[in-house]
Amino acid sequence: MADKWEKLAPGIRCRLHPTRKHGVKPDKYFVLRFTVDGQKRQESLGWASGGWTLAKAQAELARLKEAARTGQGAVTLAEARQIATEQRRQEAERNISLGDYWTNHYEPYAKQEKRPETWRGEEKGYRVWLAPRLGKLALRNIRPRDLEALRQEMREAGKAPRTIQHVFATFRAVWMHGKKWGLLEGEPPTVGVELGRIDNARHRFLSPAQLQALLAEVERRDPNAWEFVLAAAHTGARLSELAALTWGCVDMEEKTLTLVHTKTGKPRAFPMTPQLFDMLDKKQHGEPGDLVFINSEGGRWKLMPTCFRKALVALGFNDGRDDRREKIVFHSLRHTAASLMLAAGVDARTIMELFGWSTLAMLQRYTHPGAEAKARAVAALGAAVAAKPGKVLPIRKHADG
């Protein structure tokens, strides 16, 4: 490169390349030289072969001088490049695909903050349905029509309405996470897709005799699982709540246990039944931070005990039940505990407090009248219909008024 600088215009100089041509003339390297606040500056622009011309150099010089005079905008090319780089980064971030956002942002958050069973469900829904269909699309450009196409595809594949709802709930969770961090605005596109009401309430629960038979069958197969199932039956606690119970939350003097890791995030204290107290009293107590219930391998319960499922098969409790809502599962123990309490005359408010329900609708979803209660109701109807004219039957008040 030649050592001599050539002045092209006030504040603009160039240096000629010793060998390289741009057209028929030597390639030129442009620089700016000017004074700001009494200080001399030199800014390197680039080669003519890279697109620089005298006119562009003059325009750039004028812009830098104006920024220095007004205090607005970049006053050096290095600063301008830094701003441009940041703008490109922000634009790329705004246009991030669903797949990249999931991998780089949502997945690390969900793994740490969400319950394991919740995360597993979200991961499966994303991997099987969201990623193949929407993963490459910019998250902010996904529209209701894209989600409607996915819903139709899932329906044609024979997926249950509840499965579709779970997948769409996962997408909404991702979208709302992006909104929280300022990448998205407005309502998620899921609001434009009609999923309809889904009735997935389970209607069956175990009678006392069935529950005793189930506990006996589980105990025969796995004592550790028996302790876990008995605790669920005598508290109505969710699997995840009991799995996280530690000895520090068990008060043998007051005969209560406190469920800390609840679905609502609000701890619930639960008095022990005599059977539950007797079982816990015979167990070897650990340190306050040790788990109360562990599986046969010494680990934490994460899923329904295998022997629980085998016990249901052995007892035939789900034989002939094709509707999943009619099948007994581990969560049915929660239905059973609540329904047996209601049948015993426990008032609704107390049941709601014990089970952590804030609305009567949740109580109605989980409690169902037993066969004896129905028989009494029908007998009362028959007596009322058969009553002689003029005879008024006494009205018996229900336990909860």
Structural domains of the chain in order of their starting residue, each with its CATH number: 5-93 (3.30.160), 98-192 (1.10.150.130), 208-366 (1.10.443.10)
The pLDDT value recorded for residue 227 is 96
Using CA atoms, how far apart are residues 28 and 50, in angstroms rounded to an integer?
Answer: 10
> For residue 171, how many other CB atoms are within 10 A of its CB?
25
| Beta sheet of 268-271, edge-to-edge order | 250-251, 256-259, 268-271
Contact present, 154 and 167 (Cβ < 8 Å)? yes
pLDDT tens sequence across 204-249:
888 899 999 999 999 999 999 999 999 999 998 999 999 999 999 9
Regions in the chain scoring below 50 on pLDDT? 1-2, 378, 381, 392-393, 395-401
- Could you read off the pLDDT of 172-209 as tens digits, one per residue? 999 999 999 888 888 899 887 877 555 556 668 888 99
pLDDT at 395: 47
**pLDDT reported for residue 108:** 94
How far, in Å, CA of 29 to CA of 44, rounded? 8
Global model pTM greater than 0.75: no
